[in-house]
Chains A and B, each alone.
Chain A
Amino acid sequence: MQTVLSKLFRDIEADLGTHKFSLLVLDALKDALLQYEFRNSTQFKKQLLNIFQLLQMTRPRYAILLNSFYKILEVNDKTNYKSKISELVKTIDRISASYQLEKLQLVRNAQEIDVHNKHILIHDQSSAVRSTLDAMKQQSDNFSVIVAGQDAEKTESNIVFLYNHNIDHKVVPSHMLSHVEKVVDMVFLGAVTIQQNYNFIMDPGSRGIISQFKLEKKPIYVFLTTSKFSLWPLTDKSQESYYNQMQKSHRLQQEIKFSLLKFSHDRVSVDLVDYIVTEKGIFTPDELKDVYDDMFKKRKKERRKYLG
């Protein structure tokens, strides 16, 4: 089940982005709770912890889900068996609402960035970046977007978003960005999480773009809510790369076969970016490290309680 869940998570996250993915997973958990036939508290807790352990074992681990689960386990411990399911469902609703609020706050904080007459480079399908662009457009800021082309589906999804929100945009394939280095004024990217070694987990291709525009001294902003922070010690496994290997044929010469490796994420040091936009404010890399360390310490206690 762990392998099935890992693959399913990776697929959904790649399709929807981390924010929608986490809301969808929470919604699935809520539906599961509503369909569950409750027998006794001990068995129920065992099953809840079983899901928690499954979430601990998925590759990669999704911090936002684990963070939510700590809250769910806490409520489970506090409520009696009669109101358990309804309380847990309410908690999940509250968590989902709080993630929406966090994102709204992040977008509000991002309004401080001056984008007037600027060219903004985007690459991934980050929902935080999109919401920010949407809010900026609504404030009638005059800016334009350059989409760094990547997987057709993701690029098209960005184009559809920009078109629907009437935001001026152009698409440049990622490997041709050197020709627009001078035009780009700033880079907006989303991240899946940040780990204990202060590396962001980002969409594949992000590392190349960040390195390229770091050289050009263009400000690089990463958008990430703190609920997505990976607040557990780093292990060798949590630094592994995940990829799909597919057997492909040459488009015209079908007899030529080759292996195509598609990686799920990039790892990028926080020091390579200039600003991190969160719901708690806009931070420099050093400031963010302090925020992360504080949260990590608090989580350590909770981890001991549920995982020993």
Chain B
Amino acid sequence: MLSTLINHWDIAIAVGVFVLAFIAIVFEVLNKSVVAIAGATLLIVTRILTFEEAVESINFEIIALLAGMMILVEIAKESGLFALINSHLASFSKGNPFLIFLFFMLVTAFASAFLDNVTTILIVVPITIALVSGMGYNPFPYVIAEILFSNIGGALTLVGDPPNILIGTMAGISFNSFIAHLSLPIILIILLTLTTFYVINWKDLKPIRHNLSKLFLSNLLLKKIHYQYCRTNLNTAYMITVATVIVLTIIGFLLQFIIDLPLAVIACSGAFLLMIIVNKKIEVHNVFSRVEWPTLGFFAGLFVLVRGLESVGVLEIIGHSLIGTTNNFALLILIVLWSAGILSMVVDNIPFVTVMIPVIFTIQTTLGSDPHFSLLWWALVLGACLGGNGTIIGASANVIGVDLARKHGIPITFLSYLKYSLPLTLMALTVSSVYLMVWYFYF
């Protein structure tokens, strides 16, 4: 009797701490890193977990992978590599809004596949606003599209979005497997989203080859961007070194199955190799200080919170209930996809995915060896990443993109964003559903 009571008490504490932390994160009551770490500490204080169990629950592979990528991106930013890419991108477009839109969206999607989405948005949004508003156009659809494409592109690779890093490393899915399995739906979604934007904003996006005034203004702006870039006193050798190490790191990810080293080791090798090579160019203290330690702390805290739920058996209960809703595996895939998608629209997709990973492991234990089991992981990836596009608060890149736009005098409200994002997110989830079902029934 006493032990049952103690067991229920444990469940109540673990669930209570998790729910409170979740609410505080969603409504941004406090900084999310502080909330996650405080929640983790509370679980140790209330003896739901021992200190050793809490430390063991932290997946240091993910933390090291994120830290390594952050260092690489930071040095790349300092070297001016991103400014160079932006300047050339603007020149290639020749001031044509049709091409500007196409280039910037494709580059955003591609960059997000390999860089953090927030970093991508921080790089592309300011230059797009400068270019587009300078030409007398409204940058509003461009900014919204860039936010959407950063999340769509981020879904493509293991390092593209934090939920993918979580799923990939914990479920043991390789970097190449992500690209092989997700390329088709992501390319389809990119094409459909591009077409939708072109149709809706054709008046502003159509080519300007018959309008001499607009061509003149665009070229003038491009020249301004170019001379501003040229005046930044960039060091070509430094940029080439940075680009080479980044490319080598990405090749390392692609060849992981041969190298047989964890992704975190590859990322950290790239980061520290670069720091050694360019040590005279960088202020090591600055580079380390710009690593987003609060984000890493947030992840660590979340791992402990989820371990708390796991240790009292809550995840097992959720897993069983999910399986209990249906005997149909195809329907289960759709339930995971759409519940991940819809929840990610309103809550941070990272805590959600952190909870869902052990739940899917529980389902795996119950269902055993269904040949299509991996589809549940892809459903979770697609749902969490694409669902993040649904609302202004669905992903960090959305919040940062909207903030940047506001700072540049382009107000994006919750509803004005939703007008674009909701139909496009539903469309993306529908494409994903069709893809997963075709795979399930025909392959």
B228 partner residues in chain A, CB cutoff 8 A: 15
A1 to B213, CA, bound (A): 9
Q: Does B325 contact A (CB under 8 A)?
A: no
Q: Are A50 and B220 within 8 A (Cβ)?
A: no
With the chains together, A33 CA to B213 CA distance in Å?
A: 10
Contact flag A32-B215 (CB < 8 Å), given A1-B136, A37-B210: yes
Among A220-252, those with CB < 8 Å from B are none
* 0 or 1 for each of B202-245: is its CB under 8 Å from A? (1 = yes): 00000001111101111111111001100000000000000000
CB distance from A85 to the nearest CB of B (A): 11
Q: Is the CB of B212 within 8 A of A36?
A: yes
* Other-chain residue from B135, B136, B219, B224 in contact with A32 (beta carbon distance below 8 A): B219
Chain A residues with CB below 8 A from B136, complex form: 1, 4
User: What sequence of 0s and 1s flags, for each residue 28-63 of chain A, a beta carbon within 8 Å of any chain B beta carbon?
Assistant: 110111011101000010011011001000000000
Chain A neighbourhood of B88, CB < 8 A: none
A2 to chain B, nearest CB (A): 10
Q: Are the CB atoms of A51 and B212 closer together than 8 Å?
A: yes
Cβ of B297 < 8 Å from any Cβ of A? no
Give the residues in chain A near B134, CB-CB below 8 Å: 4, 8
| B interface, over-half SS | helix
How many angstroms between the C-alpha atoms of A25 and B223 in the bound complex?
9
- Beyond A4-B134, A8-B224, whether A35 also contacts B213 by CB under 8 A is no
Taking the complex as formed, is B77 at the interface, i.e. its CB lies under 8 A from any CB of chain A?
A: no
- Confirm or deny: A185 has a beta carbon within 8 angstroms of a beta carbon on chain B: no
B320 contacts chain A at the CB level, 8 A cutoff: no
Contacts of B94 in A (CB 8 A): 31, 35
**CB-CB under 8 A for A50 and B213, given A4-B136, A32-B219:** yes
Q: Which B residues are CB-close (under 8 A) to A25?
A: 220
CB atoms of A51 and B224 under 8 A apart: no
Q: Are B209 and A5 in contact (CB under 8 A)?
A: no
Decide if B227 touches A51 in the complex (CB within 8 Å).
Answer: no
Q: Does A12 contact B (CB under 8 A)?
A: yes
Contact of A47 among B96, B212, B217 (CB under 8 A): B212
Instruction: Report A-chain residues with C-beta under 8 Å of the C-beta of B95.
Output: 35
- The answer to whether B215 and A36 touch across the interface, beta carbons within 8 angstroms, is yes
Chain A 12-27: CB-based contact to B (< 8 A → 1; otherwise 0)? 1001100000001101
Residues of chain A contacted by B219 (CB below 8 angstroms): 27-29, 31-32, 35
B213→A47 contact, CB < 8 A: yes
Cβ–Cβ < 8 Å partners of A44 in chain B: 212
Q: Which residues of A contact B212 (CB under 8 A)?
A: 32-33, 36, 44, 47-48, 50-51
Query: Which residue of the partner chain A has the closest CB to B212?
Result: A47
Cβ–Cβ < 8 Å partners of B222 in chain A:
28
Chain A neighbourhood of B217, CB < 8 A: 1, 4-5, 8
Contact B216–A27 (Cβ < 8 Å): no
Interface string of B120-146 (1 = CB under 8 A from A): 000000000000001110000000000
Q: Are A16 and B213 in contact (CB under 8 A)?
A: no
Is residue A216 within 8 Å, beta carbon to beta carbon, of the partner chain? no
The size of the chain A interface, using a CB distance under 8 A, is 26
Considering the complex, give the chain A residue whose CB is closest to the CB of B224.
A12
Q: Per-residue CB proximity of B16-51 to A under 8 Å, as 1/0? A: 000000000000000000000000000000000000
Complex contacts, A74 vs chain B, CB 8 Å: none
Give A1 to B223 CA distance when docked, in angstroms. 17
Bound form: Cα–Cα A54–B213 in Å: 9
Contact status B209-A36, CB under 8 Å: yes
* Residue A141 at the chain B interface, CB threshold 8 Å: no
* A27-B213 in contact given A4-B134, A4-B136 (Cβ < 8 Å): no
The answer, yes or no, to whether A271 is at the interface (CB within 8 Å) is: no
In the complex, how many angstroms separate the beta carbon of B86 from the nearest chain A beta carbon? 18
- Answer whether residue A11 sits at the interface, using C-beta atoms and an 8 A cutoff: yes
Kindly list chain A residues whose C-beta atoms are within 8 Å of the C-beta of B213.
1, 47, 50-51, 54
Q: How far is the CA of A31 from the CA of B222 in the complex (A)?
A: 11
| In the complex, residue of chain B having the shortest beta-carbon distance to the beta carbon of A16 | B227
How far, in whole Å, are A16 and B96 apart by their CA atoms in the complex?
25
Return chain B residues, CB-CB under 8 Å to A39.
210
Are B223 and A35 touching (Cβ within 8 A)? no
In angstroms, Cα B193 to Cα A290, docked, is 64
What CA separation (Å) do A294 and B50 show in the bound complex? 94
Instruction: Report how far A54 CA is from B95 CA in the complex, Å.
Output: 19
Interface string of A73-86 (1 = CB under 8 A from B): 00000000000000
Cβ of A50: which chain B residues have Cβ within 8 Å of it? 212-213
* A35 close to B227 (CB less than 8 A): no
Instruction: Collect the chain A residues with CB atoms within 8 Å of residue B227's CB.
Output: 15-16, 24
Q: Which residues of chain B are within 8 angstroms of A51 by Cβ–Cβ distance?
A: 212-213, 216
Q: Give the residue name and chain of the B residue nearest to A3 (CB).
A: B136
User: Could you tell me if A28 and B210 are in contact, using CB atoms closer than 8 angstroms?
Assistant: no
Given contacts A4-B136, A29-B216, contact A47 B223 (CB under 8 A): no
Could you tell me if A28 and B216 are in contact, using CB atoms closer than 8 angstroms?
A: yes
Measured between beta carbons, the chain A residues less than 8 angstroms from B96 are 35
Q: Which residues of B contact A27 (CB under 8 A)?
A: 219, 223
List residues of chain B with CB within 8 A of the CB of A32. 212, 215-216, 218-219
Bound-state Cα–Cα, A133 to B94, Å: 37
| B220 x A28 contact (CB < 8 A) | yes
Q: Which residues of B contact A47 (CB under 8 A)?
A: 211-213
A35 to B97: give the CA distance in the assembly, Å.
13
A40 to chain B, nearest CB (A): 11
For B220, the closest partner residue in chain A by CB is A28
> In whole Å, how far is A160's beta carbon from the nearest beta carbon of chain B?
10
Interface on A for B, CB 8 Å cutoff?
1, 4-5, 8, 11-12, 15-16, 24-25, 27-29, 31-33, 35-37, 39, 44, 47-48, 50-51, 54
List the 8 closest A-B pairs by CB distance, nearest first: A32-B215, A47-B212, A28-B219, A28-B220, A32-B216, A37-B209, A31-B219, A4-B136
> Apart from A29-B219, A32-B218, what are 20 other A-B pairs with CB-CB below 8 Å?
A8-B134, A8-B217, A8-B224, A11-B224, A15-B224, A24-B223, A24-B227, A25-B220, A27-B219, A28-B219, A28-B223, A29-B216, A32-B216, A33-B212, A36-B210, A37-B210, A44-B212, A47-B212, A50-B212, A51-B212
